[in-house]
Structures are given as structure tokens and as C-alpha cells.
Structure 1
Amino acid sequence: MRTALATAALLLVSGCGATVAKDPSASDPVTVTNCGQQVTFDRVPSKVVTNDTGITEMMFALGLKDRMAGYVVNGLKTVDVQSSPWKADFESSKHLADKISKEVVQGANADLVFAGWNYGFSESTGFTPDALKELGIGTYLLTEACRNGVGKQRGIMPALDALYTDLRNLGKIFRVEAKAEELIKGYSEQIAAAGRLMEGKPRPKVFLYDSGQDQPFTSGKNAAPQDVISKAGGDNIFGDLNDSWTTVNWEAVVQRNPDVVLIVDYADGEANTPEEKQRFLEGYAPLANSPAVRGKRFFSLPYAALVEGPRNAASIEAFAKFLAGA
């Protein structure tokens, strides 16, 4: 196992910038199940606004750039976009704003907004599916961000199932089912091959560290890191939490004694780099005797690789290689 902080160069995945033939029955209504609700689309959306990197990359992977009015990505994620396998699609599409709002989507004349709870949708900002419905704008919610009925906890299925559900739903909505199945087949094969790298080896306990010094922000069982970690051959130390991205306390991290720390790389400034996060963890006295800190077992992946999206399979492969010492 490598002992130095490493940042993976994710592999390019199939579908980059693809042009996909549309089904001739594009004017027929279709119905999909989205976050437990039946949603009918009377026609193929043609002015979609996406929010966040992974969501936008899902549209690009399916070859649906021509169906987009533009995307919203925080300007601090510039490096995340620059590292994207769909960098050319980002550059040739319209960056509408750093933060999504009703004004932004109305200005783009959107007929569909693809976002999620805490991925743009929020009651505190008033930007919700119900608010957009009143404006005559349709919505599709990221399945990773579906609320599960316990307060505002999110996640209704395993992370990769969420990705495949969204790809199949989008394939149906935009009449590109064959492309969706092609992507899913490729991702499944890539993940299966990655999983074999750790066969027969002990499964390390992994702490996903997103951010936070007073309290750490991490992943429960319903966010993408759960499957990134488990399919790569490790065990998420907070995989028992029925939530997606969530805040815990340091006492729980120390008690669960991680063997490896997987760091989210936001690439958004010196104070929040993987190196800075590693230095903080190494200097946090209660973690000093953990195998992760003692062995300097730190690994980082870009933000877009650790939220639901088409980089997930490549991130599993990269992390599996790290764990296996390849």
C-alpha cells in the first residue's frame, strides 16, 4: 500500500462528447419513477439546466449536450472542470452562473432543471421543485439526493444503483436508452475488474474526509463514496449511517480507528487542498495512533469523482489500485 498522499488521474470514460441518434418517437410522452414519484414528460426537454459537476457530466456522457441550455457550477471548482473527461463539452457549453436560482433558469428559458437536494435544491433559498413547477419549469432530481423520509436525510438506494437508475431514466426521457445501457455495461465491467485487485486481501477501514475541523463532513451509506470505497475493497467506517453526505463528530472517527483516509479534493484554494487536509489530520492528536496517520495512508480523489456521476467507475478503479498497492 502506498504511504504518500496521492491524487488519481482518472481514466477517460466512454461517451465523451458523443453524438447520439434520437429515437424517432421523441414526441411521445414517457413516464419515469424519480425519487419515488411518477413523473411524465410530454416531450423531450430541449433547454435543460444542470447544477453541479457530476450532474452535468451525466448529460455529457449520454451525448445530450445539444439538449442543454447551460450548466451551473461553482467557480471555485474550476480545476475540477479542467480535469474532467468532458472538458471540451464544458468549454463549448454555456456556464450560466456560479449559483443556481430561479432567475438563472428563467433567464436560460429552461424547460427542465436537473439538480438535487443539497445539489441546488434547498428550502432555505426557495429554489425547490415546487417553486419551479409554479413557473412552469420541470425538474428531475438526482437519485443520490432523494430524501428517504427521515427528516432531511438523503439516499434511497445504493450509490451505483442510483447512478444506473438516473442513466436509465435519462435514457428514456431523452430517447437514448441504448447509450445509457452501453455506459452502464462499461462501468459495470470496469468496476468488476477493479474489485478483483483486492480479492483475498484484508479490507481496510476507510474514513472519507470531505471537510471540517470542528466537526468532520463525511459520507454515510447512501452517498457515492460508500460504493467507491466498498467496490474498491475497503469498508466505509460510517457505512452504517442511513444518510448520504453528513456531519459526524471526531470522537466517532477516533473510535472507529481508520486504516486509510480518502480525501475529497475540491481544488479550491490552498486552505482546502488535500495536502492541507492531511496536515490537519496528522496534527490532530486524538488520531495520532490510528493506522492511517501512523502509516501516512492518505489518498485523494476529485470532488466530481465522489458524487454520483460518470466518474464513479474510474474512481473505484483508482482507489482499488491504491489499496492493492498497484
Structure 2
Amino acid sequence: MRPGKWCGLAAVIALTATACGSGGGTRATGADGGPPGRDGFPVRVADCKGVETTFTAPPRKIVTSNAAALEMLLRLGAGDRVIGTGFPPGRGTLPGGLGARAAKVPVLGKAVIPKEKLLGSGADLYIDTFAAMGGMGGMGGAGDAPTDEEFKAAGIRHVYLASTACAPMAKGPQRDLSGVEGDLTRLGAVTGTAPRARELVAGMRAKVAAVHKAVADVPEAERPRYFFFDFDAGTKQPMAVCGKQVANAVITQAGARNVFGDCDGDFTPVSWEDVVAKNPDWIQLAVRDRGDAAANAKAFDQAAQFLTSFPATKGLAAVRNERFLRIGSEPTTIAGTRNADTVEEIAHTLYPARFKGGR
């Protein structure tokens, strides 16, 4: 399940030259197509459609569209250059000092950043997490997304995260974390933090490789059926994670089968009848971080209570046997290094006997 699955897409959005196949990964090239200079610049980045942007030096003022790109920059050590974000991480979403640093970043929009505010931010780089086919419109801001010409006039370069914005354009589902790894690699090259990016990617790969080794002999057909229950999306109609959402890659890499992995796109509303028909073996109680351990525990309890009392689901074997995973929504659905941690957590829960000492 290593990097070939994303090779076709990575070749489109990579730093011009992408190494696909054995070894995987991406590398930067100079503006003339040769190797970058000794300081790593210039580098070229192509978007989901192949349009290239050249960086002759690291950006100094960055705006991120949401918490995914913000967290990546914080982990890369480039957080001091972020001058604003949309969709900020909730209180407690990011651990320790990371959360404290994120809290200092000005919020330009609690949801999609208004176009005028983004264009007037003074940024020299905007990192877009939303579907490239519709720009910010992918998150409900259709008609209010800056055009390429407006970005250029404002002096703002515009790049996308492959694992989120470009995923809808991919031919197939996300089944591994190479899209996330590529994003970290590209952002590391662009911001001049490539060594740190390599460390983060290596750490992710080591965790996932250990899981692969432990579950490698489990046939695909015998891997547990897994339902991601997005409790905070509402209980009247469940919201399923589909194949092109990064959560599908997390679930797959953990040795499970996303019961809605065959639906196209990232998220889609389904019915409780659909969930019952899928008959999952395990259910993730995916609640969003409340910023407090007690509040989180209460939310997990409420999600479990709903499933055990709701007529449509209380008869499911997974519910009767309380095969629940209390894992937050953010580290599963938001692209970043914590995806690998979630792979570990899911695998250790589903296959405890295969890991020495458990988690």
C-alpha cells in the first residue's frame, strides 16, 4: 500500500519532478529544471492542474485556509510566518505547545476567509486545503473565491494541499498516506524546512510500517468492517467518510475496511438503513475535541449511548459487544502527521494480540 497509489496525482502536484514507484517521495527542482541551489531555492510547485508557481526564497507571510495546513506549518517550524488562518483549530485540538502557538495565529475567518480579507491580508502565500475544482467554494464559499488574477494582483501565490484539495480529482480513493507525506515534503521545500519535513515523514512511515508488518498476513476479505461515526455531524442522518477522504487511507492502513470506502468523494450523507446493511465490525465514535478531557469523555459516552439506544443500531453486533473506538475526528480526517498515530491506535485496538504489550 506504499506510494504508487498516489503516483499519478503526485506527479501532477509535485515539486515539478516526482519520484514514483519504489522509494516514492518528491523532490524540488530549480527554475531551469536542474537541481535547486545550495539553499534549496529556487523550487517550483505545480497545482492540481499542473500550473506551476516558482519560489526563489521562502515566503515570509503565509495565510492558511484551515487547521490542516496550519498544523503542518507549525510542525515544520514555519509557524512564525503564518499571519492568519481560516477554520482555526478548536481549543484543545492540538496538543500542548502546538495548540498554544496555534492560538496566537490571527483568525481571518471562523469558516472560509472572506475574499476581501484574504486579498488584503498582506500575505505572499496562501495554502489552500479546499477542493481545487472550486477553490474556496469547496467549503461553501462559491462565488466568493479570489480568481487567479486577483491573487496575482495582490502578490499572493496560491498553492494547494494534495491530500485534501487535489483528492477529488484523483481517479481512485486514498488508500495510503503518501498524499499527506507529499504535502509535508512540498511545504518543507517551499518554506526552507526540508530537513524537518524529512524527519516528520520518516516518523510517519516508521509507525505505519510497524502496523503493516503486524497485519500483513490478514487477508483483505477478513479485515474488520469499519464505520466512522461522525457524531458531531448529527444523528438524524449519518455522514459517511468516502474513499477520497484521508480517513479512508487511515482506516485502510490500519488493516480495516471502511464500509463506505466505495462512495466517491470525501464525505456523503447516508441513511441509518445503509449503516445497518453494512453491518460494521467496529465503530469509531468520532467526536470533535471539546478542549477538555472530561468534556471529551462525556461526548464519547453520548455517542455510544445514542448507538446503544437508537432502534436502528442497537441490534448491531458491534454495538451489542461495544466494539467502539474512542478516537477523535480531527486526527483521523484532518491531513497531518497525526494520521499515522491514528493508524497505530486503530490497529492496536483491532489486533491487540499482534502488538507486543499493546499500546
TM-score by length of 2: 0.72
Deviation at 1:155, TM superposition (A): 7.6
What residue number does 1:310 align with?
337
In the alignment, is the contact (CA less than 8 A) between 1:144 and 1:244 conserved in 2? no
Pairs within 5 Å for 1:133-148: 133=152, 135-146=154-165
Change beyond 3 A, Cα 1:51–1:31: same
- Do residues 110 (structure 1) and 123 (structure 2) align? yes
What residue number does 1:206 align with?
226
Cα distance in structure 1, aligned partners of 2:70 and 2:165: 18
What residue number does 1:275 align with?
301
What residue number does 2:142 align with?
124
What residue number does 2:179 align with?
162
5+ residue gaps, structure 1, are 1-22
SS at match of 1:139: strand
RMSD, aligned α-carbons: 3.1
- Do residues 30 (structure 1) and 43 (structure 2) align? yes
Q: Deviations over 1:157-206 (max 9, x none)?
A: 54512101211221222233332222211110111113344455652110
Change beyond 3 A, Cα 1:221–1:109: same
Counterpart residue type for residue 344 of structure 2: E
Decide which of 57, 78, 85 is 1:71's aligned counterpart.
85
SS at match of 1:287: coil
Aligned length: 299
- Do residues 266 (structure 1) and 288 (structure 2) align? yes
In the alignment, is the contact (CA less than 8 A) between 1:259 and 1:297 conserved in 2? yes
Deviation at 1:219, TM superposition (A): 1.1
Q: Deviations over 1:261-296 (max 9, x none)?
A: 113221349799332222222222222222211111
Q: Deviations over 1:77-99 (max 9, x none)?
A: 21213x36622432454444423
Counterpart residue type for residue 263 of structure 2: L
In the alignment, is the contact (CA less than 8 A) between 1:145 and 1:154 conserved in 2? no
Change beyond 3 A, Cα 1:196–1:305: same
What residue number does 2:266 align with?
244
Change beyond 3 A, Cα 1:266–1:69: same
SS at match of 2:145: coil
Decide which of 24, 37, 40 is 2:53's aligned counterpart.
40
In the alignment, is the contact (CA less than 8 A) between 2:240 and 2:269 conserved in 1? yes
Counterpart residue type for residue 121 of structure 1: M
Counterpart residue type for residue 207 of structure 1: F
Cα distance in structure 1, aligned partners of 2:251 and 2:309: 25
Counterpart residue type for residue 301 of structure 2: E
Decide which of 339, 342, 350 is 1:323's aligned counterpart.
350
Change beyond 3 A, Cα 1:158–1:111: farther
Deviation at 1:147, TM superposition (A): 5.1
Q: Which runs of 4+ in 1 moved over 6 A?
A: 153-156, 269-272
Cα distance in structure 2, aligned partners of 1:145 and 1:155: 14
Cα distance in structure 1, aligned partners of 2:302 and 2:131: 25
Moved more, 140-149 or 293-302: 140-149
Change beyond 3 A, Cα 1:51–1:154: farther
SS at match of 2:326: strand
What residue number does 1:6 align with?
none
In the alignment, is the contact (CA less than 8 A) between 1:155 and 1:244 conserved in 2? no
Deviation at 1:24, TM superposition (A): 5.7
Cα distance in structure 1, aligned partners of 2:301 and 2:131: 26
Cα distance in structure 2, aligned partners of 1:205 and 1:85: 36
Counterpart residue type for residue 64 of structure 1: A
Cα distance in structure 1, aligned partners of 2:153 and 2:301: 45
Counterpart residue type for residue 49 of structure 1: V
Pairs within 5 Å for 1:50-61: 50-61=64-75
SS at match of 2:243: coil
Query: Does 1 or 2 have the higher relative contact order (CA < 8 Å, sep 6+)?
Result: 1
Change beyond 3 A, Cα 1:222–1:107: same
Cα distance in structure 2, aligned partners of 1:144 and 1:155: 13
In the alignment, is the contact (CA less than 8 A) between 1:102 and 1:132 conserved in 2? no
Change beyond 3 A, Cα 1:88–1:213: closer
Counterpart residue type for residue 222 of structure 1: K
Change beyond 3 A, Cα 1:157–1:226: closer
TM-score by length of 1: 0.79
